[in-house]
A and B are shown apart, each in its own frame.
Chain A
Amino acid sequence: GAVVSQHPSRVICKSGTSVKIECRSLDFQATTMFWYRQFPKQSLMLMATSNEGSKATYEQGVEKDKFLINHASLTLSTLTVTSAHPEDSSFYICSARENPWTPQVSGNTIYFGEGSWLTVV
């Protein structure tokens, strides 16, 4: 079945540095990928929608200069947390949907990465 791989699964970085998280669709093409952030015991909050070959669309309240998203190919999107601070520590998850996307179709689905734990010290 379709698989989305996220890397790294865990990363610890120093405050002020930048860290990159990769999201790859392994056996399908994904025009659109989504990036979520999740705090403990809370739901997934959509940060941005990543579109291949164009700029990402950020949700209200998400700083686009801090959370850089690049979707250079149909199988890879990256999230770079720049000048990370301890409050950026969180669980980040990406998801990808196959092309073509038909949300009305019952069997159509979105595939999720395994998630990345970011700890900023």
Chain B
Amino acid sequence: TQLLEQSPQFLSIQEGENLTVYCNSSSVFSSLQWYRQEPGEGPVLLVTVVTGGEVKKLKRLTFQFGDARKDSSLHITAAQPGDTGLYLCAGVGRVNKFYFGSGTKLNVKP
């Protein structure tokens, strides 16, 4: 059982389309982070959200932290093939353990 559940698990879209990835938990997190990972490499940090209701933008990526700090979303506008990868949310759970979400595999077709 994952502490952080992501949806959808897989997403295949055409270049130029918009998409949203969700990260949900029944637990409250002091902060949540989003990562992108390429096959065979370590995950790369995209953003950290700290405050409930916080919205952060990183070029075409918009991140939101839920008001109750139990969930987060990642919205990509006008997706490009370079956005293809595994997207992971992560957060510090109980006893300061760092858990990853179940992951969303995104494929953007040219």
Contacts and interface: CB of A to CB of B under 8 A. Distances in A.
Interface of A: 32, 34, 36, 41-46, 49, 57, 91, 93, 95, 97, 101, 103-110, 112-115, 117
B48 A93 contact: no
Contact of B40 (A32, A91, A110): A91
Given A104-B31, A105-B50, 10 more contacts: A32-B96, A34-B97, A36-B100, A43-B103, A46-B99, A93-B43, A101-B96, A103-B31, A109-B33, A114-B42
Interface of B: 2, 6, 30-31, 33, 40-43, 45, 48-50, 86, 88, 92, 95-103, 105
Interface centre among A93, A112, A114 (most CB of B within 10 A): A112
Contacts, number: 64
Given A42-B103, A46-B100, A101-B96, A106 B42 contact: no
